[in-house]
Amino acid sequence: MIRHLVLFKLNDGVSRDEERVQAGVRAFEALKDQIEELTFWECAWNITDRPIAYDFAINSAVADKDALKRYVEHPAHQAAATQWREFATWVIADYEF
């Protein structure tokens, strides 16, 4: 199994209440029902107010590297990521467990 973690930081001046951000959240929430490679999926806003904290997180899992590649290339994933590129930066980690 591969864990796929993504942490998002909203760009300066961007609020989580903006419609484009909320649309991006809805796009990510919908992935769990659109991409069959996902064996685990959760995403949520950070709940702490710390300077080093990121704003939004995705915690997911897929079976193997081939499934991860299919997930990353899936049109629904690509569309959601494109939305987030407009207002956030992010870091990822993929590891086997």
Q: Tell me the CA distances in angstroms from 48 to 21, 51, 52, 71, 96, one per residue in order.
A: 19, 9, 10, 29, 28
Residue 88 contacts residue 14 (beta carbons within 8 Å): yes
- Residue pLDDT, tens place only, 11-23: 999 999 999 999 9
- Residue pLDDT, tens place only, 25-50: 999 999 999 999 999 999 999 999 99
Residue 32 contacts residue 39 (beta carbons within 8 Å): no
Residue 77 contacts residue 6 (beta carbons within 8 Å): no
What pTM did the predictor assign?
A: 0.93
Going by C-alpha positions, the residue among 29, 42, 40 that lies closest to residue 97 is 40
